[in-house]
Amino acid sequence: MIVTVTPNPSVDVTYWVDRLKIGKETQEEYLTRATDSDISAGGKGINISIFLARMGLENIAMGFVGGYTGHVVVRALRDEGVTTNFVWTGSGETRTNLTVLEHGHEHIPILIDGPGVAVAESEMNRFMRRYRRMLKVADWVVLAGSLPPQVNLAFYCELTELAKQAGAKVAISAGASCLTHCLPAAPNIVKPDIREHLSFEWMKLRTREEIISAGKRIVRGGVEMMIVSHDVIGDIVITPDNIWEISARVQTTQFRNLVGADDALLGGVIYQIYNGAGIEKALRFGLAAGILSAESREKVCGDMGQIEHEMANVSLKRI
């Protein structure tokens, strides 16, 4: 069983536009009309749960939700066949995130993420009780995304330690602050979210050399795999034994929506490892899933046949 934890889920609103206007003189200039739009449940762990469900893998989604938008998130997951075990908060609405995609520049999305709502101590205690129960059936735990306001940055570290004590493997996809606090617990897989800052644990992640140097340091501390997006169509993967550069032979002009593509990549890697595949197959499958997700209007590709076919366009070489 795989358990995903998304502490700060969202309702994702996406607009596609021909040209994003920036008004300077008249009110008329401020109006940008969308050519298409989409509303979906979001958050890194949510996207991974949906991907796994579409691959036919049973999983349980946890986290905090509230208000009307919280019902949107829960309903969307249940419609996908995901079991939900969220704690409902009394302090407001689950956040809304906005993405604007300009035609011809979809690989450079404009992202506006809401902060989320605070979690009361009683709500956190309720979550921890449920989490400990879920660990009795969990083989993998995926901790993903940002934390709600005022939640301690060591939150993921505590969840990692509890999961490993219960015998579960742990993958974390989050920003630098959360991940840095998790490293002492040695999660199995880490995937830094570098959309906001091109750094991790105060190390720059701009060039291949910087990524490799950071990755070597991280895996020396006990992490089994670090995955870092190097550019739009490629990643660098560092393990204690190998360093891979993985890339796809596609054009960025084919992309429709990058939001969720990284989550499909990690979901694909976990799916294959969970089913006993080797690392190289898992990485090829994961990047193929990410590329197909970026090329589709939907955030998460769910067609196994298409992903397996796309693997032919993925190259993997050892550095």
3-class secondary structure per residue, the chain: CEEEEECCCEEEEEEEECCCCCCCCCHHHHCCCEEEEEEEEECHHHHHHHHHHHCCCCEEEEEEECHHHHHHHHHHHHHCCCEEEEEECCCCCCEEEEEEEECCCCCCCEEECCCCCCCCHHHHHHHHHHHHHHCCCCCEEEEECCCCCCCCCCHHHHHHHHHHHCCCEEEEEECHHHHHHHHHHCCCEEEECCCCCCEECCEECCCHHHHHHHHHHHHHCCCCEEEEEEECCEEEEECCCCEEEEEECCCHHHCCCCCCHHHHHHHHHHHHHHCCCCHHHHHHHHHHHHHHHHHCCCCCCCCHHHHHHHHHHEEEEEC
Q: How confident is the model at residue 90 (pLDDT cuts 50, 70, 90)?
A: confident
Residue 120 lies in a domain: yes
| Residue 305 belongs to some domain of the structure | yes
Percent of the chain with pLDDT over 70: 93
Rounded average pLDDT over 159-182 = 92
Q: Is 28 part of a structural domain of the chain? A: no
Cα–Cα nearest to 157, from 128, 182, 126 = 182
| Encoded amino acid at 267, one letter | G
* pLDDT above 80: residue 195: no
In the structure, what pLDDT confidence band is assigned to residue 24 with cuts at 50, 70 and 90?
Answer: low
The answer as to whether 155 is a domain residue is: yes
**Residues 6 or more apart in contact with residue 190 via CB below 8 angstroms:** 171, 172, 173, 179, 182, 183, 218, 223, 225, 226, 227
Is 254 inside a domain boundary?
Answer: yes
- Triad 150, 153, 154: Cα angle to 5°: 130
Phi and psi at residue 95, in whole multiples of 5°? -65, 160
In-domain check, residue 6: yes
Give the pLDDT score at 156: 96
Residue 55 pLDDT class (50, 70, 90 cuts): very high
Per cent of the chain over pLDDT 90 is 57
Write the CATH number for 215. Answer: 3.40.1190.20
Give the number of C-alpha atoms closer than 13 A to the C-alpha of residue 59, restricted to the C-beta side. Answer: 29
Average pLDDT of the chain? 89
**Residue 231: pLDDT above 70?**
no
What is the domain range of residue 193? 2-21+34-318
| Assigned domain for 29 exists | no
Question: Quick count: other Cβ atoms within 10 Å of Cβ 305?
Answer: 7
The model carries a pTM of: 0.93
pLDDT-wise least confident of 28-32, 68-72, 123-127, 244-248: 28-32
CB neighbour list of residue 18: distance below 8 Å, 6 or more residues apart: 35, 102, 103
In total, how many domains does the chain have?
1
160 vs 87, 97, 124, 165, 178, CA distance in Å? 19, 27, 16, 9, 12
**Is 219 part of any domain?**
yes
